[in-house]
C-alpha cells in the first residue's frame, strides 16, 4: 500500500477513534445526568412517602389518641438528672410510709370528698309540704285527750321541676268618659296609659324573646328545634317568626350596648384576638358555599371585668381587625395569622400554645429505637418548660410575675432560638411547618415578657370561640348577613351578662336595662 494511502487510512482511524471517544463521553455525561435525576426523583418520592406516612400517623393520632398537648414536667432538652437524683427527688414534707402501705405495694390515693346534699342544693328555694295528723287522730289513743304539737322533722327531700308554660297576656285598657259633658253633647274620653310593646304588631314579649335567645345562644338549640318545642307548648310559631324576633331585638335593643362595650374594649391595655369560619347563605356577591368569618376579641388578664366581643365579617382580611381595633394602642395577643400585621401602634404578642401545637403534631407516631430526642420532641420540651413556669406564676400579681419571668424564662429563650436555627427539616413535613411557624413568630413570641399582665398564650380568644363553635355545629349556618350580625351581638352579651353593670357607665344604664329586660 502506498505511503499516502497509509497516512490517509491512519488519519481516518484517528478521526473515528476521536468521534467514538466523544460519543462515549457524551453518553457518560448523559448517564450521569440520568442517574442524578433518578436519584433526585427517588429522594423526592421517598420524601413524599415519608410525608404521607407522617400524615397518616397524624390523622391516626387525631382520631384515636388523646387530644391534649399537655405532658408531665420534663427537664431541659438533653439535661441528665442521673447524678442529682437524690437532690431532685428529696421532699422533707413527705411522711414515712407505714408497714401496710409498704407491703401492700402502693398507697391508695385519697378520694376527693363528694359534695354534700346541702352544698348541691344550697342555691334552691325551699318549699315545705306539711304532713299533718288528721283531725280524727289528734286525740291520745289511751286517754282520748287532745294532743299538742311538740315539733317537726324533715323526713325526705325531692326535686320538683316546673316545665315551661305559655300564657296569653292581654293588656286591658280602662277607658273613662265624662257623663256631664255627654249631656251637653260633648264627648270627653280618657284612656289609661299602656306599656309600649317590645315589637309593634307582634306577640313577642321580653320573656319570650329572652327564652328564644337563651335556648339558641346558650343551650345551642337551633330555631327549627325550638319551633317543635313551641308546638308542644300549644303555640304554632314558625321559625321565621322566631328569627325575626331574635334579629330585630338583637339589632334594636342590644347593638347600642354592644357598641358601648366596644369602646370600653379599645380603652384596655391588652386584647386577645382570633377568628373562626362560618357560613352565610344569602350574602351579596358570594355563593352560599363560600366562607365568612366570625372575629373574636377579648380583654386580657388586667384585673378588670372581662369583655368578650364577636364581630361578623364576610372575609378574613386583616383590614377587618384593623378597622375594629382602630384607636387601640397596647398589647395584642394573637396567633401567627399575617392579617394582624396590618395593625399599627400595637405590640403584638405571639401564642406559645399554637407553637407547641405545631411541635406536638410533628412528634413521631411510633416509638423510636434511638434514645436521642427528635427535633420535634426538643421543641415540644422547650415549650413545656415555659408552660410549667407559667403555672407557678399564675397566682402572682402582675409586677411579681414579670420579675419572676425575667429571672427564669429568658434563659430558655436564649437556648431555644439558636437551637431552632440548627433544625433543617425536609420540605413538606410537619416538622418543616413547625420550624417555619416558630421562625416566623420570633419577632413577637417574647413580647409577653414586657408586661406581667400579658399571657403566654392566646387561650382567652380560643375560649371565646368555643361557645360559638358549639352553636355552629348545631345550626350549621346563618341565613342572612343581618342574622349573622345579630348573632355576634347576642353572643357577646351572653358571654359577659354577669359583668355588664360593672362595665357600663351610669349614663349608659338605660342601654343596659333595655338589654337586660330581654333576659
The pLDDT tens digits for 149-200 are 888 888 888 888 888 889 999 999 999 999 888 888 888 899 999 998 989 9
Q: Mean pLDDT, to the nearest integer, of 393-408?
A: 94
Going by C-beta distance under 8 Å and a sequence separation of 6 or more, which residues neighbour residue 25? none
Phi, psi at residue 272, to the nearest 5°?
Answer: -105, 140
Q: What is the pLDDT of residue 62?
A: 66
DSSP 382-423: HHHHHHHHHHHTTTS-HHHHHHHHHHHHHHHHHHHHHHHHT-
336 touches 350 (CB < 8 A): yes
* Cell reading at 127: 318549699
Tell whether the model's pLDDT for residue 109 goes beyond 60.
Answer: no
Residue-wise pLDDT tens digits, 341-369: 889 889 999 999 999 999 998 887 666 66
Identify how many contiguous H helices and E strands the chain contains and give both numbers. 18, 9
The helix (run of H) or strand (run of E) holding residue 176 is strand 175-177
Phi, psi at residue 295, to the nearest 5°?
Answer: -85, 145
Q: Would you list the domain boundaries of the chain?
A: 205-317+458-519
Tell whether the model's pLDDT for residue 78 goes beyond 70.
Answer: no
Sheet of strand 270-278, all strands in order from the earlier edge strand to the far edge: 308-313, 292-299, 270-278, 331-333, 347-349
**Grid cell 336595662 — which residue?**
513
Spacing of C-alpha 483 from chain mean position = 22
Amino acid at each position: 500500500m502506498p505511503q499516502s494511502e497509509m497516512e490517509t487510512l491512519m488519519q481516518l482511524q484517528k478521526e473515528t477513534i476521536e468521534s467514538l471517544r466523544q460519543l462515549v463521553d457524551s453518553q457518560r455525561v448523559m448517564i450521569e445526568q440520568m442517574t442524578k435525576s433518578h436519584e433526585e426523583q427517588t429522594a423526592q418520592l421517598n420524601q413524599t412517602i415519608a410525608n404521607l406516612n407522617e400524615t397518616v400517623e397524624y390523622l391516626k393520632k387525631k382520631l384515636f389518641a388523646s387530644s391534649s398537648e399537655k405532658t408531665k414536667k420534663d427537664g431541659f432538652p438533653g439535661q441528665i438528672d442521673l447524678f442529682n437524683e437524690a437532690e431532685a427527688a428529696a421532699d422533707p414534707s413527705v411522711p414515712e410510709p407505714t408497714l401496710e402501705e409498704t407491703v401492700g405495694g402502693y398507697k391508695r390515693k385519697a378520694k376527693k370528698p363528694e359534695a354534700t346534699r346541702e352544698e348541691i342544693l344550697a342555691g334552691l328555694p325551699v318549699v315545705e309540704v306539711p304532713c299533718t295528723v288528721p283531725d280524727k287522730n289528734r286525740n291520745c289513743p289511751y286517754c282520748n285527750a287532745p294532743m299538742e304539737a311538740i315539733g317537726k322533722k324533715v323526713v325526705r327531700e325531692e326535686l320538683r321541676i316546673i316545665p315551661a308554660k305559655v300564657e296569653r297576656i292581654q293588656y286591658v285598657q280602662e277607658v273613662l268618659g265624662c257623663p256631664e259633658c255627654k249631656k251637653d253633647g260633648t264627648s270627653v274620653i280618657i284612656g289609661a296609659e299602656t306599656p309600649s310593646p317590645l315589637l309593634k304588631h307582634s306577640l313577642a314579649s321580653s320573656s319570650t324573646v329572652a327564652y328564644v335567645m337563651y335556648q339558641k345562644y346558650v343551650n345551642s338549640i337551633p330555631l327549627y328545634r325550638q319551633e317543635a318545642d313551641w308546638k308542644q307548648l300549644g303555640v304554632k310559631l314558625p321559625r321565621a317568626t322566631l328569627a325575626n324576633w331574635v334579629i330585630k331585638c338583637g339589632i334594636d335593643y342590644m347593638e347600642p350596648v354592644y357598641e358601648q362595650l366596644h369602646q370600653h374594649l379599645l380603652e384596655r391595655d391588652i386584647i386577645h384576638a382570633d377568628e373562626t369560619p362560618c357560613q352565610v347563605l344569602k350574602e351579596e356577591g358570594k355563593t352560599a358555599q363560600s366562607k365568612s368569618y366570625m372575629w373574636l376579641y377579648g380583654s386580657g388578664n388586667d384585673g378588670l371585668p372581662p369583655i368578650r366581643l364577636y364581630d361578623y365579617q364576610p372575609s378574613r382580611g386583616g383590614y377587618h381587625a384593623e378597622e375594629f381595633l382602630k384607636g387601640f394602642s397596647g398589647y395584642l395577643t394573637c396567633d401567627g395569622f399575617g392579617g394582624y400585621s396590618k395593625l399599627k401602634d400595637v405590640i403584638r404578642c405571639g401564642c406559645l400554645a399554637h407553637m407547641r401545637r405545631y411541635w406536638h403534631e410533628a412528634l413521631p407516631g411510633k416509638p423510636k429505637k434511638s434514645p436521642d430526642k427528635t427535633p420535634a420532641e426538643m421543641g415540644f420540651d422547650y415549650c413545656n418548660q415555659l408552660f410549667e413556669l407559667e403555672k407557678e406564676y399564675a397566682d402572682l400579681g402582675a409586677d411579681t410575675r414579670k420579675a419572676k419571668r425575667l429571672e427564669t424564662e429568658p434563659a430558655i429563650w436564649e437556648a431555644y432560638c439558636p437551637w431552632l436555627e440548627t433544625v433543617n427539616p425536609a420540605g413538606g413535613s410537619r416538622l418543616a411547618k413547625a420550624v417555619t411557624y416558630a421562625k416566623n413568630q420570633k419577632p413577637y413570641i417574647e413580647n409577653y415578657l414586657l408586661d406581667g399582665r400579658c399571657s403566654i398564650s392566646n387561650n382567652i380568644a380560643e375560649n371565646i370561640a368555643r361557645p360559638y363553635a358549639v352553636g355552629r355545629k348545631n345550626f350549621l349556618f346563618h341565613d342572612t348577613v343581618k342574622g349573622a350580625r345579630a348573632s355576634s351581638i347576642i353572643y357577646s352579651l351572653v358571654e359577659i351578662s354577669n359583668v355588664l353593670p360593672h362595665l357600663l357607665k351610669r349614663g349608659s344604664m338605660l342601654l343596659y336595662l333595655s338589654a337586660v329586660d330581654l333576659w
